[in-house]
Amino acid sequence: MTAAPLTTVVVPTLGRPSLDALLRALAEGTRPLDVPVLLVDDRREPTDDLPYNDHGLDVRVLRAGGGGPARARNVGWRLARTEWVSFLDDDVVPDPDWYERLLADLSGPGPAVGGIQGNLRVPLPPGRRPTDWERCTAGLETSQWITADLTYRRGVLAAVGGFDERFRRAYREDADLGLRVTGRGRAITPGSRWVSHPVRPAGDWVSVRLQAGNADDALMRRLHGPGWRTRAGVPRGRRPRHLATTAAAGAAVMAALAGRRRTAGAAAAAWLAGTTELALARIAPGPRDRAEVRRMALTSLVIPFAASWHAARGLLRHRRAEPWQGVPELVLFDRDGTLVHDVPYNDEPGRVRPVPGAQEALDRLRRAGVRVGLVTNQSGVARGLIAPERLEAVNRRVAELLGPFDSVQVCTHAPAEGCACRKPEPGMVEAACRALGVDVGRCVVVGDIGADMEAALAAGARGVLVPNGRTRPEETAAAPHVSPDVGAAVDRLLSGAW
């Protein structure tokens, strides 16, 4: 009998040519890669041109819709069903023994270990000093918790909600996750495997574009406090100097408009001094060729303003940001009145009609890697109104129209029997979570009456009420969350608000 794979490899990609080198390195290693590889295509308009068919790997392609690397990684790990999830960026090249060393890394960690960090090297051109962009890329070698090669326990990712999708660029999402994982008392330990990270080609203005990360720093401070850089091993950076340089430029303009020449001159001199200091600091460690010096001089004029703008934008945008909890691991739906129109004691498969939007809502959850299930009271069996085989036929029809479902829980008892499974009792919710290995705290129940919400609460899950004609006003008033329809409920869950 073949052993279950220990890990799943998840690779977010924008379809760069480097992806082929990554997959080829995995396929041609000293030990064949025999675990699933999930390629998460994060292009806004994906095409079928990813080079994954020529390497003999077990590859599946997923779509993330251009939401950024955090969302792409979340789509990948949620669909993984292995104990560990190994993240690789699409521009790294694993060493020939990478998979062997990965298995060795995963062979001994105790339960306190939540993640194992791979090692990264950045090859630089020999015989000359590195450019500013090359030095920036080389800084990845000493970055803490860098997800270019990092393996996490899937259960740990589920417990913290995965990557925070408010980080839309590859900048701080890995540090944020590392802080949340270690804040839960789980260690992230160094591994023995290595990947190379070649320096990608970049335009002259890449250093200016990178200043957008200052908005992410504002979110980090909001979520983790002013000491987050020390805990995450992130250098302080030059933001205070950028702010001072920008302020000097603004003061010079304002003073000149007010006719205060001496003040304008002093402020302009301060701006020039700050800009010159930045340019010299960037030129000094690099090559002295004309193109690099020109690039550093021009971008140093713009960087303080870009950094200040993005910092202010981040402070405004994230001023009320709450801790990330991710999307649920499992969403359990009531059947009648929630997913299909309610036909009392229905025993005819032909009378099953999905409510508008149910199919699309369920499919969106599945594409995001969220498991879905049914929890339905069917006392008509105990009352003698529905034959068991007819109930099974109706449920099969529901699955044909809206499935597949990861769990189907049915209570056939009458209310007077006092069972532990009939909603509002928690039995079916607990059974579904137990069968799928999901922490009940990462489960949401969507239903149309108060009994659905009470079952969720009794189990320790969350509830979302979708009222209809039979929902009593007091049930709506008491519900923890209310959505007008199933589609809106799923919108809420996928946004992390649950």
pLDDT above 90 as % of the chain:
91
Query: What does the pLDDT read at residue 171?
Result: 82
Please compute the mean of the pLDDT values over residues 463-490 and round it to a whole number: 96
Neighbours of 122 (CB within 10 A): 17
Give the DSSP letter string of 325-364: ----SEEEE-SBTTTB---TT---GGG--BPTTHHHHHHH
Contact partners, residue 284, CB within 8 Å, separation at least 6: none
Reduced to 3 states (helix: H, G, I; strand: E, B; else coil), residue 313 is helix
Looking at 41-55, 140-154, 481-495, which range is the least confident one? 41-55
Listed ranges 60-64, 230-234, 297-301; the one with the highest mean pLDDT:
297-301
- Name the residue among 5, 144, 8, 117 with its Cα closest to residue 73: 8
Amino acid at position 461, single letter: A
SS3 per-residue string spanning 202-264: CCCCHHHHHHHHHHHHHHHHHHHCCCHHHHHCCCCCCHHHHHHHHHHHHHHHHHHHCCCHHHH
Query: What does the pLDDT read at residue 94?
Result: 98
CATH 3.40.50.1000 in the chain is located at: 330-494
Domain 330-494 bears CATH identifier 3.40.50.1000: yes
Provide φ and ψ at 377, rounded to 5°.
-80, 130
Give the DSSP letter string of 439-479: -GGGEEEEESSHHHHHHHHHHT-EEEE---TT--HHHHHH-
Query: What does the pLDDT read at residue 2?
Result: 59
d(Cα 296, Cα 154) in Å, to the nearest integer? 43
- Name the residue among 403, 406, 369 with its Cα closest to residue 494: 369
Please compute the mean of the pLDDT values over residues 308-314 and round it to a whole number: 97
Q: How far is CA 371 from CA 1, 11, 407, 460, in A?
A: 27, 21, 9, 18
Please compute the mean of the pLDDT values over residues 266-281 and round it to a whole number: 97
- pLDDT tens for 322-361 read 999 899 999 999 999 999 999 999 999 999 999 999 999 9
- pLDDT tens for 12-35 read 999 999 999 999 999 999 998 999
Query: Does residue 1 carry a pLDDT above 60?
Result: no
- pLDDT tens for 121-180 read 999 999 999 999 999 999 999 999 999 999 999 999 999 999 999 999 888 999 999 999
Query: What does the pLDDT read at residue 108?
Result: 84
- Name the residue among 176, 291, 301, 184 with its Cα closest to residue 228: 176
Contact partners, residue 480, CB within 8 Å, separation at least 6: 453, 457, 462, 463, 464, 465
Mean pLDDT for the chain overall: 95
Query: What does the pLDDT read at residue 441?
Result: 94
- Helix 427-436 to helix 450-459 angle (10° resolution) is 50
CATH 3.90.550.10 in the chain is located at: 7-201
Amino acid at position 65, single letter: G
pLDDT above 70 as % of the chain:
100
- Name the residue among 180, 174, 167 with its Cα closest to residue 148: 174
Domain 7-201 bears CATH identifier 2.130.10.10: no
Query: What does the pLDDT read at residue 49?
Result: 78
d(Cα 44, Cα 238) in Å, to the nearest integer? 33
Task: Establish whether the linkage from the previous residue to 424 is cis, with ω within 30° of 0.
Answer: yes
Q: How confident is the model at residue 8 (pLDDT cuts 50, 70, 90)?
A: very high
Provide φ and ψ at 278, rounded to 5°.
-65, -45
Give the residue numbers marked as catalytic.
Answer: 334, 336
- pLDDT tens for 77-117 read 999 999 999 999 999 999 999 999 999 999 989 999 999 99
Query: What does the pLDDT read at residue 75?
Result: 93
Query: What does the pLDDT read at residue 498?
Result: 79
Looking only at the bridges linking them, the beta strands covering 113-121 and 187-196 are parallel
Q: How far is CA 474 from CA 141, 341, 462, 478, in A?
A: 58, 22, 18, 6
d(Cα 63, Cα 51) in Å, to the nearest integer? 15
Query: What does the pLDDT read at residue 48?
Result: 79
- pLDDT tens for 247-269 read 999 999 999 999 999 999 999 99
To 10 degrees, the CA torsion angle through 420, 424, 426, 428? Answer: 80
d(Cα 77, Cα 461) in Å, to the nearest integer? 22
